Amino acid sequence: MPKQIKKREITGGEKAGSVLLIVTMIIGLLFAAAFIIFIPDIESDSRGLQLSKAAALAGGYVLFIVMSIAAAVVCLVNYKKSSQTGDLMRGFFAGLSAFLALLCVRFMLALFFSGLEKTDLVDKVIGDNTYSQFIENQAPAFACLVIGLSVMLFAGISGIVKLAKR
């Protein structure tokens, strides 16, 4: 009878890293859903955006970045302890997701300040452009945000698989 190969037990740090990735993925999905819901308001009249919508988007954005960084740190610390390549990759992708989301900070600041109806701060963030020109110029940064959210989706799925396999 062949010997059964025992699976390596998952450590507490690896479990915490996977759970952080899953929570960050859920936050990213909720942030993306909120953004999609509020897109019509953004395109029609951004300066009249309500405070609650601006606060929800800004809060989701900040929470996503903070959680992505936390997940990256926990996964990279786990890699240092266990030398599991999967932890390295999950940490790298969580960090990449946070970096890509940070590239959209000007757009989110303009959106938040327009919700607060602080036109002077919006004008400082926008610069010399009109708001529609600013939105057009932020397309690459917005694409990076979408890519960052997608990367976190795959990292979160990887965390789910890691927890399900053990």
pLDDT digits (tens, 9 = 90+) for 115-127: 777 778 877 878 8
Distances (CA, A) of 127 to 103, 111, 123, 124: 17, 14, 6, 5
The pLDDT of residue 73 is 92
Amino acid at 88: L
Please give the distance of CA 74 from its chain centroid, rounded to a whole number. Answer: 16
pLDDT band at 86 (very low <50, low <70, confident <90, very high): confident
The pLDDT of residue 67 is 93
d(CA 144, CA 157): 20
The pLDDT of residue 97 is 92
- Is 5 a domain residue? no
Domain that holds residue 118: 12-165
Of residues 105 and 119, more confidence is placed in 105
Number of domains comprising the chain: 1
Residue 11 DSSP SS3: coil
d(CA 125, CA 104): 12
Is pTM, for the whole model, over 0.85?
Answer: no
- Is 2 a domain residue? no
d(CA 127, CA 147): 26
- Is 7 a domain residue? no
- Is 88 a domain residue? yes
